[in-house]
């Protein structure tokens, strides 16, 4: 089966070579390139070659390949840029901040005090509420 494509999708166009990118690497299922709106220098994307929008619809072997590509890029980021840390981020749906509906993992180098809005203070949850949601999810698995 050939991978799904979407003519209006910017990442499908990059995969097809119709739009340029700073390509880091490529294999049969994935491509990695620099993000053109970096949160910090070195911000890159590991992208599935096929047009699957989100984690709930992409085949397991393809998301596994995207994760492996993200790991390769993250290793290069750590070795070459020596950041204080790296976030891997993968958004699903507009409510999660996804702007390109074609599955990708961000590799984001982090610097102390960089003000990138990804971190939060943990607050204790309501155990009854946690348990109620846990039961629903457990039954679905």
Query: CB-hemisphere CA count at 13 Å for 130?
Result: 5
Site string for ligand AMP, 29-48 (x = CB under 6 A): ------xxx-----------
In the complex, least distance from residue 32 CB atom to ligand AMP, rounded to whole angstroms: 11
Told to judge if 51 belongs to the known catalytic residues of this protein, a careful annotator would answer no
Segment 12 to 71, residues that bind Zn ion, using CB under 5 A: 12, 51
Residues that bind ligand AMP (CB under 6 A): 10, 19, 21, 35-37, 91, 97-100
Positions marked active-site: 104
């Amino acid at each position: 089966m050939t991978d799904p494509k979407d003519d209006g999708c910017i990442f499908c166009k990059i995969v097809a070579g119709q739009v340029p990118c700073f390509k880091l690497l490529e294999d049969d299922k994935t491509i990695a390139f620099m993000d053109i709106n970096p949160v910090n220098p070195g911000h890159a994307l590991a992208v599935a070659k096929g047009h699957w929008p989100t984690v709930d619809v992409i085949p397991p072997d393809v998301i596994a390949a995207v994760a492996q590509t993200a790991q390769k890029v993250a290793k290069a980021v750590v070795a070459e840029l020596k950041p204080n840390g790296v976030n891997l981020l993968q958004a699903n749906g507009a409510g999660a901040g996804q702007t390109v509906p074609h599955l990708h993992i961000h590799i984001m180098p982090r610097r102390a005090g960089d003000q990138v809005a990804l971190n939060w203070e943990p607050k204790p949850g309501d155990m009854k509420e946690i348990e109620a949601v846990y039961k629903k999810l457990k039954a679905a698995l």
